[in-house]
Structure 1
Amino acid sequence: MTDADAVTRLRRADADRRAARERVDAVGEDALRALQTACEELRALLTEYEGRATGDGDFAAFIEFQDRIAHFTNDLDEELPERTVFEEIDERLQQRRLTEDDFAAVRERIDAAAETVDPLVEWEDARERYGEARRAARRRLDTVGDQIDDRERLVELGEADLDAPTERLREPIERYDEAVTDAFDAFRSNASAREVLDFVETTALYPLVPFREPPEDLLAYVHGHEAGTEPIPQLLAYAAYSRSKLDHYVADADALKRSVATRQTYLERLDADPLTVGWPPPAADTLRWQCNERISVVARFAPDVVSDLRAVRALTRRSDYDRLRDSAVARERLTDAERERLRTGAVADELADLRAERDALRDALDELSPLA
């Protein structure tokens, strides 16, 4: 849906709603609703009694029906639209004998009278269409907002210095990432599963080190069984054994199967990724806070890697960090097609069109009253 579609649909729906409301006001909403109710009640009476009050049916029901019709008509407001139609219906139904044709003719008269309620029905339909048009316009506004953000991001990336010496950031970051990955792999492979999982559990104190917490049953197992002193790769090897073979290696094969075999995916995916920086790096403030937390965490299992991490943190204080990072982000994220669109000015044109569309949608939504 485009701007013209959403705004035109909204304005047309509003115009339809207002026109329908004028037709309702010309008669009166209360009067039309009263007429609508009267038609529904009379149809219900016909349905209730037709089988018993026609022909030679139940005479008591016939008398009761005529009495209820009389009371129904007498209770109608004198100013009710189409009241004379109800009076004529009453007169016809007060005959000494009623047939199915009488009931059919009365229903036709009710249907004709109910046409007077059409403006009310049309107004309610118009209100519903208007409400949906407003919701559609708001959805389109959200979409346009996202598209504007996307184009603004492209423009920002396009302004980056693509020739900036990003290796000044990349080399220290890659050196740290490789060092911490190797150190964690060694820690995971050589330390006991109990020690590794306890380490991971302590990282919950550091929200910028997003390790997934160990499952409680797995923690309980490594603390309560001798097999917990084995490294994680050995536990995973045990989990693949048959129960009969596993009985030769651990005291409680069933417990290992329950607590380790069911957590293989967690153990297999446990790596240094939450400790790495990656490329391109985050904004300076974000990276600085990440480094502050990671220094405390990395020091627990790889103190010799802390110096590499401090070197990464020092990057965030460089006066050219933002310029180098912007260049890195642009190189990584800008596709050839996006670069061409930036070069030709297509992105700028799209951004101008989208901003105009956003303004038109906002103006229409603000100008036209909410659904009441």
Structure 2
Amino acid sequence: MSDLLTDLRNADEACREAESAVSEHGKTRIEAVADAHDRAMTLLSRYEGKATGTGDFKAFVEFQGQFADLVENLPDDLPARESFERAEDISDKRRLSEGDFDRIRQTLEPADEIASRLDERREANKQYHDVRRSVADRIAELDEKIDDLERLQELGEADLDAPTEELSEPIQAADDAISSAFVAFKRDSSAREVMQFLTATEQYPLVEFDSPPEELRSYLLENEVGEKSIPDLLELARYSRSKLDHYVSDPDELKRTVSTNETYLDRLGADPLLIGWPPAPANELRWWCEEAIRVADRFAPAEAVARLREVQRLTHDSRFDTLRIAAQARAELTDEERERLARGAVEDELQQIRERKTELNDALSDYPKR
């Protein structure tokens, strides 16, 4: 925590220093120094191996002339111009050694320092941005921790003796009825009817059946084999091609389409229509039941759909969420969590985290985006 704040302060100070260094000469003049320094370094790299010692005299003359032209054409007020002039003095000899080239580079270091200021400012700003992002990420982590602890407190306040069976029994009855109805629907209906059902569920986003692969959907909707049930199709897909000749007109197409989707067909079940335990909050479950009833009504008998309607009715009961939280507390609270709640450790930790979050939020305000 303290490290993040220190990093943010240090990054801000580095940005201010880098900005001040750029302001001393201005962006345009620094870019001119960088351009001149780059051209000087290019000349040194190009001629160092050829213009030294008793080597290529022509290269030696070219280097001296081009370096002199470079310096002569520099603006008089160019920052660090004197370093270019001293470098030219070093090059103005009858013979140059590798040591002379090293001395020229050293002499140009003041120009290099000025030329690097824009890069240093860019890097300082990037570092500042990265540290601010780390602070923001830490705040997000603290928000999640606060949510977890507040939920733990909510569970700790639950009445563990509440009659949760008033919810669990009708919910279990609804889940059992819908599960049985879907098993019968999948077993007794044609694969085409199941595909049509799954297609229809796509308009109910709260009931999340996985849409069938398009190739499988088209095959079962458009071919005669779609009149068979899914269990029969899965059995056929395991037959040899020669045996399949007696059942379908195109064994290869059935194997290619059904066998490759065997896992999807095998796992297809009523899970998207099951409420589960503990249930969702009343306001969420109420809207889910609205869609689930419409979906279930497409395949389930009236008595199974009625079980869902009974659960939906319960969501209007003012005690629903109280009983739901009690059920969650029974299912989720560990002995260690109950002990921490009893001695106030959760409240203490929550207070500390809130204070840390406030401190970090204040830091982001004190050190805004650049």
% same residue: 48
What secondary structure is seen at the aligned counterpart in 1 of 2:277?
coil
Q: Which whole-Å deviations, capped at 9, do the CAs of 1:21-44 have from their partners, x for residues lacking one?
A: 445545666555544443332121
Change (3 A) 1:30 1:200: closer
User: Which segment drifts farther, 48-57 or 65-74?
Assistant: 48-57
Equivalent residue number for residue 237 of structure 1:
235
1:287 match = 285
Q: Name the aligned partner's letter for residue 276 of structure 1.
A: L
Q: Which amino acid aligns with 1:336?
A: D
Q: CA deviation at 1:96?
A: 3.1
What is the CA deviation profile of residues 221-269 of structure 1, one whole-angstrom value per residue up to 9, with x for unaligned ones? Answer: 2234333222211111111222222223333211210111111111111
Is 1:260 the counterpart of 2:258 in the alignment?
A: yes
User: C-alpha separation between the residues in 2 aligned to 1:313 and 1:210?
Assistant: 18
For 1:282 and 1:85, locate their aligned partners in 2 and report how far apart those are by CA, in whole Å.
74
Q: TM-score, normalised by structure 2?
A: 0.90
List aligned pairs for 1:1-372, cutoff 5 A: 3-23=1-21, 25=23, 31-111=29-109, 114-115=112-113, 123-302=121-300, 303-371=302-370
Distance apart, 1:20 and its partner CA = 4.5
Letter of the aligned partner of 1:152 in structure 2? E
> Residue 218 of structure 1 contacts residue 263 of structure 1 at CA under 8 Å; is this kept in 2?
yes
Q: 1:116, CA displacement in angstroms?
A: 6.1
How far, CA to CA, are the matches of 2:16 and 2:102 in structure 1? 36
Q: How many positions carry a matched residue from both structures?
A: 369
Q: Kindly tell me: are residues 229 and 118 of structure 1, through their superposed partners in 2, closer, same or farther at Cα, counting changes over 3 Å?
A: closer
* Matching residue's letter, 1:98: L
Q: Check conservation: 2:279, 2:324, Cα contact below 8 A.
A: yes
| Aligned-residue offset at 1:112 | 6.0
| Deviation per residue, 1:119-158 (Å, 9 max, x gap) | 6665554434323221211221121111111112212222
Cα offsets for 1:301-360 (capped at 9, x unmatched): 222312212211110121211211121222223233322222222211111111111111
Gaps of 5+ in 1: none
Q: TM-score, normalised by structure 1?
A: 0.90
Q: 2:204 & 2:176 partners in 1: Cα distance? A: 22
Do the aligned partners of residues 99 and 219 (structure 1) sit closer, same or farther apart at CA in structure 2, a change above 3 Å counting? closer
Please tell me the root mean square deviation across aligned C-alpha atoms, in Å.
Answer: 2.4
Q: Report the 3-state secondary structure (helix = DSSP H, G, I; strand = E; otherwise coil) of the residue aligned with 1:205.
A: coil
Question: 2:267 & 2:342 partners in 1: Cα distance?
Answer: 43
Cα distance in 1 for partners of 2:170, 2:289 equals 13
Residue 294 of structure 2 aligns with an amino acid whose one-letter code is S
1:98 is displaced (CA, Å) by: 2.8
Query: Partners of 1:53 and 1:86 in 2: how far apart?
Result: 19
Name the CA distance, whole Å, in 2 between partners of 1:36 and 1:253: 73
